[in-house]
Each structure stands twice: as C-alpha cells, then as structure tokens.
Structure 1
Amino acid sequence: MSKYLLNKFLFTVDRDPELVERYREDPRELVTWWESTVANSLLNCHSGEASTWLEFTPAERDALIERDHVRLFEMGAHPFLTLTLFIAVFERDNTEPLEYQKAYGAALSGFSLPYPDIAT
C-alpha cells in the first residue's frame, strides 16, 4: 500500500478541472489512465524523470473507483485531500448548503482517536 500514491492521485486530480470531470463521469477510466500515465511521474518535476514501480493495490484502486472516502481514510489517505476532491465531484449534486460536507463528516464520525496514520 502506498499512502503517497493515494495522496498524489487525490492532489493531482483535484487541481485539474478536466481530471475532476473525468473522475466524476467515469472514475474507472480516470483511475486506470492516471495509474498508467501519471502515477510514476515525479510530483512537481518537469524534467521528464520518473519512477517505474508505483501502482495501486487492488483495494486502493477499488476505493478510488468507488470514490469511497471512508475506505480511503482507513488506508491513510489524507482527509483534507479526499474532502476537497470529493467536494468538487459531488457538491453540485446537493441542494442544501454544505450538504456534502456534512455527509462526509457523518460518514467519518465512527472513527475515534487514534485516527489512521496519514503520514506519507
């Protein structure tokens, strides 16, 4: 399991409106594409350098495809990264102010200290 790779996915997708839309429309396609093209590029590095070994575990891939922020949190994904990306993906579907944020918090309310380790 790579918390770094999970967080890198959440971070990079959230910062690109086109990727957010692709994740909203077809999460399986976006996760598969991202893992094969972006996962091994170095974050914030524009020199063409890349690694060759990073890939999601099946559980990580499934949680990203299912957009399951509770499972991602259990795996160590940073809650602020899941929250900001999933606000971009889901908030427009809600009719009440802060409806998605409240549902997000309620879904995580069963966790107590110590929380899963989110350090990468």
Structure 2
Amino acid sequence: SEVDLLMPVLHEVLGATGLKANEIGFTCSGSADYLAGRAFSFTMALDGVGAHPPISESHVEMDGAWALYEAWVKIMTGEADTALVYSYGKSSPGEVRDVLTRQLDPYYLAPLWPDS
C-alpha cells in the first residue's frame, strides 16, 4: 500500500534531517490518481505522513515535479520555511499505454499512444 511504501522513507528523512513532523511548514505530494485507478487515492498516503495534528498539506496530480514546484513557491513567498515533498505511483490494472492515453487526452477521440 501507499503507507507501506512511504512510512520507512519518511522516517529515514526525518531522522537524517533531525526535523520533527511538527517542524515541517508545508507538505506536498504528487501522484497520478488516474493511473492508480482510484479517485482521491492520495488521501491514503496521508496516513503514512501523519496529518494529525492538522498540517499544511497539498496534493498535485501527475508527478513529483509539480509537487516540488508548489513547495518551492511556498518557500519563496515566505508561506513556509521548510517543506516535505514526496511522490509515488502505482499502475492501475489496465494497460499502461491505454490508461496514459486517456489521462493525457481527456477528450478521447482516437488513440494517441504517447509511447509509440
């Protein structure tokens, strides 16, 4: 599960940096919920982060690059002084080339096959 993937890595990062979870100013995740085949699947990953007490948190669809950008903006604007950014992915039960085509072309008219 997402929690099983994230918890060991997050604990290792916190240990290496010496930060406590409540010292992180902003948390942002990136994942492709469409690819996972579940709406709002990112909410399950929050169990691995620990969202209580309430934290400043955001999720961006697609990948970790967008999550890193959002965290960078928060830091550059002074809204946060530290950020935890993580990303993860899981292929859905469907064929990846079919799923990605439908995700990247929401008005699916004909196969684009981006991997061709």
Relative to the length of structure 2, the TM-score reads 0.30
Q: Which structure has more strand as a fraction of its residues?
A: 2
